[in-house]
Amino acid sequence: MKAQKVILATLASAAIGAALGILFAPNKGTKTRKKISKKGNEYVEGFEEKFNEFLDDAAKKFETIKKEAATFTENKINKVEEKVEEVVDKATKK
């Protein structure tokens, strides 16, 4: 959810910035277009950076959860095996 908000905010900021740049531009059209293009590229680079950070964070969290799940599963399997051994021991002693 947080990443979606960042993406939406970035896109909205880019659109608003471009619109305001066109409306309040005191320069010639060609100069204004160059400025808009430059700003657009800056927004794209910022978006790419944020998106890559998001992907890195997601990958790290996934690896952490994967390790925790493996440890949890391993612990539960060991407990089940211990209980099975207890039951077998009790059954063979009778």
pLDDT score recorded for residue 23: 72
pLDDT score recorded for residue 64: 96
Q: Whole-angstrom Cα distance, residue 75 to residue 18?
A: 56
The answer to whether 85 and 77 are in contact (CB under 8 A) is no
pLDDT score recorded for residue 94: 63
**Checking phi first, is residue 25 left (phi over 0); if not, alpha (psi -120 to 50) or beta?**
beta
The series of mean pLDDT values per 10 residues for the chain, 94 residues long, is 78 81 72 81 88 92 96 95 90 79
Helices (H), 1-94: 2-23, 29-93
pLDDT score recorded for residue 30: 80
Q: Is the pTM value of this prediction over 0.75?
A: no
Q: Whole-angstrom Cα distance, residue 40 to residue 8?
A: 15
pLDDT score recorded for residue 44: 87
Residue 54: closest CA among 42, 46, 66, 65: 46
pLDDT score recorded for residue 1: 59
pLDDT score recorded for residue 34: 83
**Cα separations in angstroms, 59 against 44, 64, 67:** 22, 9, 12
